[in-house]
Amino acid sequence: MSQSLRAAAASPIKFGTDGWRGVIAADFTIERVARVAPLAAEALAQEFGASTGSRTILVGYDRRFMAEDFARVAAEAIQAIGYRVKLSDCYAPTPVFSWIAHHEQALGAIVLTASHNPGRYLGLKVKGAFGGSVSPEVTQKIETMLAAETVPAEVEHPEPIESFNPWESGYCEALRQFVDLAAIRAAIADGKLAVFVDAMHGASAGGLSKVLDVAVQELNTNRDPLFEGGAPEPLPKYTTRSIAQIRDHQQAHPDQLAVGLVFDGDCDRIAAIDGSGEFLTSQILIPILIQHLAVVRGQTGEVVKTVSGSDLMPKVAELYQLPVHETAVGYKYIADRMLSVPVLIGGEESGGVGYGNHIPERDALLSALYVLEAVVKAGKSLNELYGDLQTKTNFFNAYDRIDLALASMAARDRLLGQLQTNPPQTIAGQAVTDCQTTDGYKFRLTSGDWLMVRFSGTEPVLRLYCEAVTLDRVHEILEWAQQWAEAAAA
């Protein structure tokens, strides 16, 4: 066994920003799932039992290797200690299970998924009765019970596990109410709009067609637990074929508006591809959606962004006199805000976007509907909408991010020590004017450009984020940051 696999097998079960994830057969095993699932159920009961009066736990899963088998193990372990268990009869997006948990007033949902991680990973997300990820306090309860080797007592005659189809839960109909579905359908039927979906071999496959009740052109819908050797993460490097196909379609049909929608493995993250072949991250989509919701839909509320979010977001919010609140990276912080104040939209740079009029959960299918509605109502491409916003705000900065694999935890510790004791004072030839440590280290430069350095919560990876006046400058700063990090970690 390799050193990395030995470390995984020996590592304690820890919950990150959204669940517990591990390498299949090393850290993430049948035995461990059977151990964690009933404790998660107990924690949900302690947190939401009194308010819901429920004893029901939903169990769902995505399309990863053996995900349905792990889900069955989790369901049986929860059933054995006396809970009513409803086990999905098919894969579905994580937000669907969150919505059902809230809609049916269940204690919550356990979802077997590793979201955007590479194929060797699987994970377990815990969703609360309110329809979103549980708080760190709840996951801490689970970790405390694990450490104490708590074993819930089994009951003699548990209720049979119930099977359910998540797509027939009312979720699709609920999403249809948020947009002018007739206008979107008419644009598709009239040949004005061509919709493509890159499912990235994940749980979104078939989902948008179900919600629209209209066939769209789906790419990468087959189940591939190895994700073509990459990861089901909506990034340009994993979508080159889709970008080419959508661009070719637009060139062949210049009178149509071609929109590509890219979903991650469990469909809680979104990106888009314009007909020109341009890849649009949520750094661009969120500002477009802020304008659409405020102007076309006449909605109001707070705009919530994470510290890694583009400066374009507050600039667009200012246009429409919307308040802005900034959080650490992780959608759970946005969800917490949604539970306390009226929120219009909340989103993170990695693609998770949610809405105050929905559950406090990022939902890529709802985002897709809003993106399509924005294009149809404006009669403009996504790139045109983005260009309009740049002109209105006089903000033309570019953005990119790279992930740097670290050799070991010792290398990580050395790098962290350098950041804590001797952070850089100049970056790529520019002086640092401010260093924000809300989450990681965000360095503001004299030009207004910024670089953020942050460690992943689920992988041995350093994330480097940058927004600067041109894409060339972004890449120059990221190249500097990569060289600095490698030297500091050595």
pLDDT tops 90 at residue 12? no
Lowest mean pLDDT among 59-73, 207-221, 332-346, 450-464: 450-464
What is the mean pLDDT of the segment spanning 452-481? 90
Instruction: Kindly tell me if the per-residue pLDDT of 332 is higher than 80.
Output: yes
> How far is residue 161's CA from residue 243's CA, in Å, rounded to a whole number?
43
Mind listing the pLDDT tens digit for each residue in 238-280? 999 999 999 999 999 999 999 999 999 999 999 999 999 999 9
Length of the chain: 490
Residue 262 DSSP one-character state: E
283: pLDDT strictly greater than 80: yes
147-192 per-position pLDDT tens digit: 999 999 999 999 999 999 999 999 999 999 999 999 999 999 999 9
Per-residue tokens: 377: 């109502």
Q: What letter represents residue 34's amino acid?
A: A
The pLDDT, as a whole number, for residue 1 is 46
Q: Check pLDDT > 80 for residue 4.
A: no
Which segments within 317-368 are labelled E, that is strand?
A: 324-327, 343-347, 353-355
Give the model confidence (pLDDT) of 34-71 as tens digits.
999 999 999 999 999 999 999 999 999 999 999 999 99
pLDDT in tens, 406-434: 888 788 888 989 999 999 999 999 999 99
Task: Write the pLDDT tens digit of every residue in 380-399.
Answer: 999 999 999 999 999 999 99
Which tokens belong to 384? Answer: 């045109």
Site of tokens 């990150």: 16
DSSP H helices in 81-203 = 94-103, 136-147, 171-176, 181-189
Sheet holding 108-112, edge to edge: 20-23, 121-128, 108-112, 56-61, 84-88, 162-164
Confidence of residue 10 (pLDDT cuts 50, 70, 90): low
* CA-wise closest residue to 296 among 375, 198, 355, 211: 375
Instruction: Compute the CA torsion angle 401, 407, 411, 413 (nearest 10 deg).
Output: 70
Task: Provide the mean pLDDT of the chain.
Answer: 94
- The answer to whether the predicted template modeling score (pTM) of the entire model surpasses 0.85 is yes
- Rounded to the nearest 10 degrees, the angle between the axes of helix 364-378 and helix 382-393 is 80
Name the residue among 300, 206, 225 with its Cα closest to residue 69.
Answer: 225
pLDDT at position 457 over 70? no
CA dihedral (455, 456, 457, 458) positive or negative = negative
